[in-house]
Chains A and B, each alone.
Chain A
Amino acid sequence: MLKTFLIGIKDVRLAFRDRAALILMLAAPFVLTVGLGLVTGRFSSKTSSGISDIPVIIVNLDNGQLGNALADVFNSADLADLLEPAIGSDPEAARKSIDEDKAAAVVIIPEGFTKSIIPQQSDFANGNVVAADPVKIEVYANPSRSTGAGIVKAIVDEFLSRVEEGRVSETTSIEQLMFSGRITPQQALAIGSAMSEGIETTAPASTLAVKINSSTANGDAVKFDALAYIAPAMALMFLMYTVSYGGRSILAERAQGTLPRLLVSPTNSAQILGGKVFGIFLTGAAQMLILIGASSLFFQLKWGDTLGVIVLVLAAVFGATGWGMFITAIARTSAQVANIGMSITLIFGIMGGSFINLEQLPFFVQTFSKITPNAWALDGFTTLGLGGTLTDLSAPVIALLSMGSILFLVSVVLFGKKNLVQK
């Protein structure tokens, strides 16, 4: 156990002393993250200290409790630094000011929004207890200010998901809305009474009550923070490099004589192989955590729930390490591992959604992507970036752990057949 650990630590040290490896492990993903971030406009609407004063126009045609509550959110003191809200009354005029680049986004709360979600006393009075179809809130985004627009959309999303939760379990929603300062206790009382009456009797818990209809001037989808996708995508892509580098070191140690030397020391081969695997795992985890730390520090990127991030990183590195071992087990020389490793880094990067969002790729690619750690982990990081926690990660974490375990077993069998030293 101790020797396994010591061999692993030694390998981390060697990896971090290899300048070529450092470039691919840390510099490349970091530079690509910055580059792609620039391309997607992530940095254009923010000052050096972060994003602030996003101009947003609120057109509240609803004037019900929920519509007002959402308008209050945008005007709240908490968001005063981040947003610069203006009140509009005419949707057309507001859209026009987006086209003229005067604001990052327009939020149009349509007439009857509150009513479509919370049945009114009058409905009960005249016996009409079936909720109307939810009325959609429109976020009209400025494509040249995608970050600002993304934030506006995220705020609306967050609000709507709270309301949606409320339709399913009314009390928590009220508490949350109140707790987060989004509604006043007085409003809570009113909404609460209306909800508890309406929801229990009318709304089927499974229907999605609130839909968001987001659009931009040129029809592109809006992302919250492009970096929240790019940064993990690049880190995961180069994680594949790191694990193949680690696998390569097994064959390199054989060639440079240190593996035979280990084998004639009082250390058994399970400890040695275990140490090598542990070294790959540690190096990968260190790489991921450094990249996550750097992007949090330099770009104020929020990766989300800390525990979730740590568990996801470990699971992703475990899955990737399995691939590193597998490549090593099927290759004959360390040069072969390097070549296969580079190919896999790129193929998995592309197929796993590191450059193009998987949803935009053909179906067979989406299917193929399931064998890459990249796709699963990226899915997890996106969940976390959107406010998910550890409990929302079971699918990617289980998939990554299973992937790693299966590849380990296969590799161990292959290693056994191939004999690491000439016997």
Chain B
Amino acid sequence: MSAILQVQNLVKNYGDFKAVKGVSFDIEEGEIFSLLGPNGAGKTTTISMLSTLYTPTSGDAIIGGHSITKDPMGVRGIIGIVPQDLALYEDLTARENLIFWGQMYNLSGKSLTTRVDEVLEQIGLTDKAKDRVKTYSGGMKRRVNIGVGLLHKPRLLFMDEPTVGIDPQSRRAILDTVKDLNKQGMTLLYTTHYMEEAEELSNRVGIFDHGEMIAIGTQKELTQQVGEAETLILHVGENDDSEALAKTLKDIQGVQQATAVDHEVSVVCAEAEEVLAAVVTKANDRGIKIRSIDIREPNLEAVFLHLTGRALRD
């Protein structure tokens, strides 16, 4: 396998603020690569540079042999982009949107209309193709947004958090589409702050935080970094102080990390059974009632927690 994308020490500053601090990684032809990181990590900024919208402060990336800084036009023909925020004409129909964007990607005539029909089929909107986009649900709009990125059959598709803010059904449909596209040979760079999506979709994951790639590898390689650690998830009552509980739990022998998000406390430890009793006792001592406990095998959430001391979703 060869790299379709090579990112070389990419930097982006907004004034004094360093949004991306020298990131390097490769994406192999044919894989789904996920950039996993919390909001504000710098995922969109990175994608914006790779898609030639923003000029990097320094560094470069080579996509299919074209430099994003020296040959942006060459890059644009190879890549497709599904931006995080919808970028559609709401007063045009889905079909009119796809036709227009197809034209902007140099498609025309019969090949344009056939391709538009194919894409409508693929995103499941053939029946609604003649309705204006503004009449669509959030999930349907997202699917059109994706469709636009597929028209010219890009070799490398950037998808920036395509499932944010939609219903579970549409989300499922989108994840399935992503897998289909990959099966048909498309390489994907997928950004998300949902660990489950990265786990389900990707061959390899890059964990992104504060403008830096803090870990990269297959899910297996990454979880091995935290050892054989397991995660205990405690669900506590609405009025309980989960933050304070997390703090005290860190003192327990064998607990590597403990963090609280809303009414959930995550406890990373080598062996769940060993610490379970102590955890429950501590909670009782503080008068906190534990409603339920889950034990999870090592996952990307735990990796993030291990590396940053923070939960992914805060």
Contacts and interface: CB of A to CB of B under 8 A. Distances in A.
A186 interface: no
B92 A264 contact: no
Interface centre among B14, B55, B103, B106 (most CB of A within 10 A): B103
B76 A264 contact: yes
Nearest to A275: B104
A183 B86 CA distance: 73
A403 B85 CA distance: 39
Interface in B138-196: 148
Contacts of A423: 54-55
Nearest to B83: A257
Given A17-B91, A18-B91, A266 B54 contact: no
B149 to A, nearest CB: 9
A257 B101 contact: no
Given A266-B76, A423-B55, A257 B100 contact: no
Contacts of A258: 87-89
B103 A3 contact: yes
Contacts of B14: 422
Contact of A266 (B100, B106, B148): B106
Interface string B93-120: 0001000110111100000000000000
A422 B54 contact: yes
Contacts of A6: 100, 103-104
Nearest to B54: A423
A10 interface: yes
A49 to B, nearest CB: 40
B229 to A, nearest CB: 41
Interface string A9-34: 01001100110000000000000000
Contacts of A421: 53-54
Interface residues of B, number: 28
B93 to A, nearest CB: 10
Contacts of A260: 48, 53, 83, 87
A264 B91 contact: no
Contacts of B77: 266
Contact of A257 (B86, B96, B103): B86
A193 to B, nearest CB: 70
A264 B106 contact: no
A263 B88 CA distance: 14
B89 A264 contact: no
A264 B55 contact: no
Contacts of A122: none
Interface string B194-232: 000000000000000000000000000000000000000
A264 B103 contact: no
A262 B53 contact: no
B222 to A, nearest CB: 30
B276 interface: no
Interface in A239-289: 256-258, 260-268
22 contacts: A6-B100, A6-B103, A6-B104, A10-B92, A14-B89, A17-B92, A256-B87, A257-B86, A257-B87, A258-B88, A260-B48, A260-B53, A260-B87, A261-B83, A264-B52, A264-B53, A264-B76, A265-B104, A265-B105, A267-B104, A422-B14, A422-B54
Given A10-B89, A257-B83, A264-B51, 5 more contacts: A10-B92, A261-B81, A263-B52, A265-B101, A266-B77
Interface of A: 3, 6, 10, 13-14, 17-18, 256-258, 260-268, 421-423
